[in-house]
Amino acid sequence: MSDEVKKPGPPPGARPPGAAMPGGAPPGARPPGAAAPGAKPPAAKPVAAAPAPVAAPAAPKPASSVAAAPAKAAAPAKAAPAAAIVNPDLEKIRAKFGDEVIKPAAFEGIVIADLTKLIEIATWIRDALRYDMLANLTAADYPKDNVIEVVYHVQRTTGGPTLCYKARLARPKGNDPTDWVPSLVPVYPGAEFQEREAYDMYGVRFEGNPDLRRILMWEGFAGWPLRKDWKEAYFEGDTKPFESRWPGGNHKLAEDRVPWEDNLNYPAGFDPLNYKSNPDGNLYDSMQANTASLNTGMGSHGAGMSPEDFEELKRAGILDSSEMKTDQIIVNMGPQHPSTHGVLRMVVKLDGETITDLKLVLGYLHRNHEKIGERNTWLHNIPYTDRLDYITGMVNELGYVTTVEKMMGIKPTDRAEYLRVLMSEFTRVASHFWSIGFLLNDLGAFFTPALYFITERDLIVDLFEGVAGSRMMCNYMRFGGVSRDLTPAQFERARELAFERLPRAIDELEYFLSDNEIVKARSIGVGYLPANRSIAYSLTGPCLRAAGVPYDIRRAEPYSIYDRFDWDVPVLYGADVYDRYRLRIMEMRESIKILQQCLNQMEHNSKPGDIQAGKKAYNHRVPAGQAYGRVETPKGELGFYLVSDGAQNPYRYHVRSSSFINLNSLKEMTIGQKIADSVVVLGSLDIVLGEVDR
């Protein structure tokens, strides 16, 4: 098993300046008709922007902050949105498919006006322009313009910025779903879970998605929670601060304000006496049928499969050729199961102990994080990001604040940048200690290794507690800076951890585990997913780099001040559980190198106390615009897609969760493995359910 540490050359530069295609606000659509329930209608007639001549980019609006206590925001003046930035690749797409198909988009990217060509265009972008990974897929609701917009961001695993394209659908009336839009699963298999989320939250239907069911809510849930007209039972207002808090100050608990019998919203015509619950939809039916298996191209079969299919599965090695033909059974693992790393439910179909099919049931921890984010003010969202992956809160905050800073045109001070990198890399080390400890739990070495590594993590979160005031929910980053500097004693403690304690602990971890015969026997060759399939599934983070792809956003599209440090992107080629474990150890060593350089540089190259660019503010108004920002967390790519209409609250707030998207590949990693190995494969993905379910 070979391994290598790659030091990539300079990352591709920023998008070269070019002409801009002006685009208006999402245009008015034809009057939407209610979609016929049940039967699949013809492909949607998209809502497209009017063609416009190429023009120079509009000057950005200056960012503003209000230091006083917040007040209710007045509706912002309606202004023409800034034109989308055009890079050479967007011009190539327009030249290839023509102005009738490719239209300008407001602020970012292009609109594909003819949805019948969506798969053709996406395939050409993947193959001809080498955007080989789907980074992000989401939707946004614009009821004033009768538009629901599907937003795609794709990226190259060789590095560089993302490319954005969009599809617009006429917004249906009431609770009807949208017309159909072609699924991109045939082009990017990593689209499956993201399309299901867009369907679940917005009612966008994707023709060709292999399992178009709700994914965070249950089948039978009434409405589409992220549409702007959806209201929950205790609804008080569209945006915060609520008037009962400010300026009124006469807040009452929702339970006192809303009578108990009115605390649920039932759909029209709901009859509780005759209601038949089916929260899983056709989950079990689809597993009993001859559903396609992604890694074999054949079927996964239930009881009563044909002798020909049985022989085919034996030849493929999925079934043991020495065994007699037996019925397959479906088993639920979780959601209350210690080996599923939280409230995750794995539904597996077994032939003996061999897995022949797997589906995941998510959403048990769902709390509509994005709806909350669109009601909060921009600043309010920072502590909420801590509650996504609650092991990596500092890095989550960094991803959000850097995206907002991109929209506001703010550059943090050098001291703040050093502190951000310091906290992020300590977080990476702590997260990997935690991940490896619980992977050993999954392997059967209960608690002893985990407790050793949690001890090291505790020393790091002790530092976080001293600096930020909290061990996990740190609320440390600010737009343009951070909340507090290190004291001299904390600085020395950070040096002791980075130069002495943590390197010794990593050496000890590797000494006892890496050559352990049980660890090797249970992990080498288990959960194999090669590089091309990892990219296809939008797998990111250590799992992608352990498959031989040296893709790390800190190098691929550098942010903060990572380009000031000398460090390497580790890469391994086993593409299995063992190499995912080994790669995390290698990454901890690289984080230690960054920490040591960061501490040395900040001592001489930054001014203590200079931690905030500009004036501190409670309330911010972000200029109208859109941005997709991303950072490399210990789990992979964490992205934020934000839309501002110029008000003090985000109009659209979307989290691209690496834990959620990485789970999309679990089925292919697991089919053909033993049931005991499924737990180990899941552990190697290092998910956190707070970020999966949001």
CATH number of the domain enclosing 99: 3.30.460.80
The per-residue pLDDT for 263 is 65
Is 416's pLDDT higher than 50?
yes
Domain housing 110: 14-31+40-207
Write the pLDDT tens digit of every residue in 90-148. Answer: 999 999 999 899 988 888 889 999 999 999 999 999 999 999 999 999 999 999 999 99
Classify residue 518: in a domain, yes or no: no
Point out the least confidently predicted range of 5-14, 231-240, 603-612: 5-14
Point out the least confidently predicted range of 49-58, 75-84, 300-309, 474-483: 49-58
**Rounded Cα–Cα distance for residues 180 and 115 (Å):** 9
Classify residue 323: in a domain, yes or no: no
Classify residue 463: in a domain, yes or no: no
Write the pLDDT tens digit of every residue in 362-379. Answer: 988 898 899 999 999 999
Mean pLDDT of the chain: 81
What DSSP element (H or E) covers 133? strand 133-142
The per-residue pLDDT for 36 is 35
Local confidence band at 237 (pLDDT 50, 70, 90 cut-offs) = confident
**Rounded Cα–Cα distance for residues 337 and 141 (Å):** 37
Give, as one character, the DSSP assignment of residue 262.
G
By the 10 Å C-beta count (0-12 exposed, 13-18 middle, 19+ buried), 189 is classed as buried
By the 10 Å C-beta count (0-12 exposed, 13-18 middle, 19+ buried), 75 is classed as exposed
Write the pLDDT tens digit of every residue in 156-213. Answer: 999 999 999 999 999 998 889 999 999 999 999 999 999 999 999 999 999 999 989 8
Reading the block at residue 152, the tokens are 């795609």
Write the pLDDT tens digit of every residue in 529-569. Answer: 999 999 999 999 999 999 999 999 999 999 999 999 999 99
Percent of the chain surpassing pLDDT 90: 48
Is 14's pLDDT higher than 60?
no
Local confidence band at 321 (pLDDT 50, 70, 90 cut-offs) = low
What DSSP element (H or E) covers 112? strand 110-112
Classify residue 226: in a domain, yes or no: no
Collapsing DSSP to helix, strand or coil, 174 comes out as coil
Q: Are 472 and 480 in contact (CB under 8 A)?
A: no
Residue 353 CB neighbour total at 10 angstroms:
11
Point out the least confidently predicted range of 21-30, 269-278, 494-503, 653-662: 21-30
Is 37's pLDDT higher than 80?
no
Give, as one character, the DSSP assignment of residue 257.
H
Residue 450 CB neighbour total at 10 angstroms:
18
**How many domains does the structure of the chain reveal?**
1
Helix, strand, coil abundance in the chain, percent, nearest 5: 35, 15, 50
**Exposed e or buried b for every residue in 542-567, given b needs 16+ CB within 10 A?**
bbbbbbbbbbbbbbbbebbbbebbeb
The per-residue pLDDT for 30 is 34
Is 394's pLDDT higher than 50?
yes
Q: In angstroms, what CA-CA distances link 135 with 156, 347, 539, 558?
A: 9, 27, 9, 16
Classify residue 156: in a domain, yes or no: yes
The angle that helices 393-408 and 414-443 make with each other, rounded to 10 degrees, is 140
Classify residue 471: in a domain, yes or no: no
Is 494's pLDDT higher than 50?
yes
The per-residue pLDDT for 447 is 79
Is 516's pLDDT higher than 50?
yes
Classify residue 169: in a domain, yes or no: yes
Classify residue 456: in a domain, yes or no: no
pTM, entire model: 0.82
**Rounded Cα–Cα distance for residues 584 and 587 (Å):** 5
**Rounded Cα–Cα distance for residues 44 and 125 (Å):** 22
